[in-house]
């Protein structure tokens, strides 16, 4: 699945925070519908920033086109095994290499099978139509990809998640995961949370509902995207029994800590890659601090990877980064006194680990009449030019900072808080490791103290 998403992304078919992947699977519980399987889907959703909508076939379903194609593939390979390559001077590339039939430690039969299946001249593949041109043109499957899964590439095989518990809507059996045929993971829900309902429905009302924007600050269960939908065509049939339910998938007692840490580290690395692709010099980014706040900074370089574990002592306090880790340099934005959400630029430099970047491109609005003015309380003159006569040096400096201040939008602020909530789901001992990262050196100052440098307020839920 990861390979498929990677391939789609490389081909430009997968768009972060936009695309939804529809995935069809037969009812094999152990692989696709167990808690661990669902959990891994939530991981993929967060890594690739796409929704994955899995529809599970009913047990004992009829064979579909994919089953037919798989049967063809099996027959093709069986035939190939009977016709290995010969050293008779003829072109043998459409035959199976003889070494593949011998076995041995360094040989991979699967790789040879893939080579043959992907041969463009393969006769019974989907490439050829012959007299069945019409059926060929109407085929549902237009592309087939084969890949070899090496045992060494299998990740997280020690992961065992706890059975998912559902609300008891109805008494009796068949209310567990085994009775649910539609699983949706969503980067907005975050790692470890999935939306699940009984039967997939593709009516207009259901489709439109899934397009509703996420409401920052609203708990997942109350999100309009997943609320009870009486407009659904199937409503009269299910009468509430097909509502989306947001479930949390918890780790089982047998899952070692290291395995969970591995999962979280993998997601964080992937998030760092996504952030890196969005960073541009002079843009504004938001970075999380260890005390659940965030600060803003202006990017002054492009992201780069650190070589060797390093303690960057030129910053105060020093910043610890690991070998190969993505980092980026920037200059702090400081919170303006008595003006929530307003920031002014400084020349204080820092380096940030991209795993801690919450947003890479925040739009800041300068002071502008009539709708983006400094708050009344601390700033009687709500926009420049300020009256500078008779002002003390300290106040003059404040006014100069105010002139250069810009404001973060309510939407961006809420989105950053929402991203912080999702990152907390990935919080194992990251906090310990980042304690000396120096990213929290902008402590919140007591408001009202005129000598204070900063009034960072990023953790408040609302901006005025
Ligand atoms: Zn529907």
**pLDDT exceeds cutoff 70 at 104:** no
32 C-alpha to ligand 1 centroid (Å):
23
**Residue 416 or residue 56, greater confidence:** 416
Q: What local confidence, expressed as pLDDT, does residue 26 receive?
A: 73
3-state DSSP assignment of residue 257: helix
204 C-alpha to ligand 1 centroid (Å):
7
50 C-alpha to ligand 1 centroid (Å):
21
232 C-alpha to ligand 1 centroid (Å):
4
Measured CA to CA, the distance from residue 430 to residue 424 in angstroms comes to 10
**pLDDT exceeds cutoff 70 at 25:** yes
Count the Cβ atoms, other than its own, within 10 Å of residue 251.
Answer: 19
What residues does the ion ligand 1 have nearby, CB within 5 Å?
201, 203, 206, 232
Helix residue ranges, H only, 211-340:
235-238, 257-278
Q: What local confidence, expressed as pLDDT, does residue 447 receive?
A: 39
**Residue 91 or residue 303, greater confidence:** 303
419 C-alpha to ligand 1 centroid (Å):
29
Q: What is the mean pLDDT of residues 212-219?
A: 90
220 C-alpha to ligand 1 centroid (Å):
20
192 C-alpha to ligand 1 centroid (Å):
25
The lowest-confidence range among 105-119, 200-214, 296-310 is 105-119
The lowest-confidence range among 36-40, 375-379, 391-395, 442-446 is 442-446
The residue extents of the domains of the chain are 1-83+150-255, 281-456
218 C-alpha to ligand 1 centroid (Å):
23
**pLDDT exceeds cutoff 70 at 383:** yes
212 C-alpha to ligand 1 centroid (Å):
15
- What is the β-pairing status of strands 364-366 and 406-408? antiparallel
Percent of the chain with pLDDT over 90: 44
Task: Name the residue among 273, 231, 249 with its Cα closest to residue 189.
Answer: 249
The lowest-confidence range among 99-103, 160-164, 264-268 is 99-103
Q: What local confidence, expressed as pLDDT, does residue 31 receive?
A: 60
Give CA separation, 232 vs 23, 24, 115, in Å. 21, 21, 46
Q: What local confidence, expressed as pLDDT, does residue 129 receive?
A: 57
207 C-alpha to ligand 1 centroid (Å):
7
56 C-alpha to ligand 1 centroid (Å):
16
The lowest-confidence range among 22-26, 323-327, 439-443 is 439-443
197 C-alpha to ligand 1 centroid (Å):
11
* DSSP assignment letter at 372: B
Beta bridge partners of 53: 22, 184
Beta bridge partners of 329: 351
The lowest-confidence range among 63-77, 226-240, 292-306 is 63-77
Beta bridge partners of 362: 284
Q: What local confidence, expressed as pLDDT, does residue 68 receive?
A: 73
Q: What local confidence, expressed as pLDDT, does residue 193 receive?
A: 94
Percent of the chain with pLDDT over 70: 81
**Residue 314 or residue 366, greater confidence:** 366
Place 62 in a pLDDT band, splitting at 50, 70 and 90: low
48 C-alpha to ligand 1 centroid (Å):
26
Measured CA to CA, the distance from residue 463 to residue 458 in angstroms comes to 9
Place 430 in a pLDDT band, splitting at 50, 70 and 90: very low
Average confidence score pLDDT of the chain: 82
47 C-alpha to ligand 1 centroid (Å):
28
Give CA separation, 61 vs 58, 261, 345, 370, in Å. 6, 39, 62, 63
323 C-alpha to ligand 1 centroid (Å):
49
**Residue 157 or residue 92, greater confidence:** 157
The lowest-confidence range among 4-8, 322-326, 433-437 is 433-437
Query: Judging by beta carbons within 10 Å of its beta carbon (0-12, 13-18, 19+), is residue 132 exposed, middle or buried?
Result: exposed
Place 456 in a pLDDT band, splitting at 50, 70 and 90: very low
67 C-alpha to ligand 1 centroid (Å):
27
234 C-alpha to ligand 1 centroid (Å):
6
200 C-alpha to ligand 1 centroid (Å):
8
pTM, whole model, 2 decimals? 0.77
What are 307-357's pLDDT values in tens digits? 999 888 887 778 888 899 999 999 999 999 999 999 999 999 999 999 999
**Residue 106 or residue 446, greater confidence:** 106
Q: What local confidence, expressed as pLDDT, does residue 433 receive?
A: 44
What are 177-190's pLDDT values in tens digits? 888 889 999 999 99
What are 123-179's pLDDT values in tens digits? 554 455 566 677 667 777 777 777 777 777 778 888 888 878 887 656 666 778 888
Q: What local confidence, expressed as pLDDT, does residue 170 receive?
A: 61
Q: In terms of residues, how long is the chain?
A: 464
222 C-alpha to ligand 1 centroid (Å):
18
Measured CA to CA, the distance from residue 236 to residue 212 in angstroms comes to 23
Q: What local confidence, expressed as pLDDT, does residue 232 receive?
A: 95
**pLDDT exceeds cutoff 70 at 455:** no
74 C-alpha to ligand 1 centroid (Å):
37
């Amino acid at each position: 699945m990861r390979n498929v998403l990677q391939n789609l992304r490389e081909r430009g078919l997968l768009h972060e925070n936009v695309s939804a992947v529809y995935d069809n699977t037969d009812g094999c519980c152990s692989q696709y519908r167990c808690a661990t399987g669902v959990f891994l889907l939530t991981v993929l959703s967060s890594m690739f920033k796409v929704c994955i909508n899995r529809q599970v076939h009913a047990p004992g379903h009829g064979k579909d086109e994919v089953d037919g194609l798989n049967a063809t593939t099996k027959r093709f390979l069986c035939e190939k095994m009977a016709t290995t390559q010969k050293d008779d001077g003829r072109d043998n590339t459409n035959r199976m290499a003889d070494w593949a039939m011998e076995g041995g430690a360094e040989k991979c039969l699967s790789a040879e099978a893939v080579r043959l299946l992907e041969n463009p001249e393969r006769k019974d593949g989907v490439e050829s139509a012959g007299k069945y041109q019409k059926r060929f043109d109407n085929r549902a499957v237009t592309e087939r990809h084969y890949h070899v899964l090496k045992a060494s590439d299998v990740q997280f095989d020690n992961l065992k998640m706890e059975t998912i518990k559902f609300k008891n809507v109805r008494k009796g059996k068949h209310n567990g995961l085994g009775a649910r045929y539609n699983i949706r993971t969503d980067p907005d829900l975050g790692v470890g949370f999935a939306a699940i309902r009984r039967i997939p429905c593709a009516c207009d009302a259901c489709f439109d509902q899934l397009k509703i924007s996420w409401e920052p600050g609203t708990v997942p269960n109350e999100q309009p995207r997943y609320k009870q939908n009486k407009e659904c065509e199937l409503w009269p049939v299910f009468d509430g029994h097909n509502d989306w339910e947001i479930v949390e998938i918890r780790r089982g007692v047998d899952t070692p800590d290291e395995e969970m840490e591995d999962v979280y580290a993998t997601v964080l690395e992937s998030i760092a890659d996504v952030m890196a692709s969005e960073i541009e010099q002079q843009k504004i980014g938001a970075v999380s601090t260890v005390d659940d706040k965030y600060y803003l900074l202006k990017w002054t370089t492009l992201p780069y990877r650190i070589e060797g574990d390093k303690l960057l002592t030129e910053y105060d306090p020093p910043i610890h980064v690991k070998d190969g880790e993505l980092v980026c340099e920037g200059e702090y934005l400081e919170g303006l006194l008595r003006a929530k959400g307003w920031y002014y630029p400084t020349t204080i430099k820092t380096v940030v680990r991209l795993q801690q970047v919450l947003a890479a491109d925040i739009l800041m609005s300068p002071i502008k009449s009539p709708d983006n003015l400094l708050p009344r309380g601390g700033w009687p003159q709500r926009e420049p030019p300020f009256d500078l006569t008779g002002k003390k040096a300290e106040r003059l400096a404040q006014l100069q900072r105010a002139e250069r201040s810009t404001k973060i939008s309510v939407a961006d602020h809420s989105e950053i808080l929402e991203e912080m909530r999702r990152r907390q789901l990935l919080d194992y001992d990251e906090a310990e490791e980042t304690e000396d990262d120096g990213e929290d050196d902008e402590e919140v100052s007591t408001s009202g103290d005129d000598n204070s440098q900063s009034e960072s307020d990023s953790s408040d839920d609302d901006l005025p």
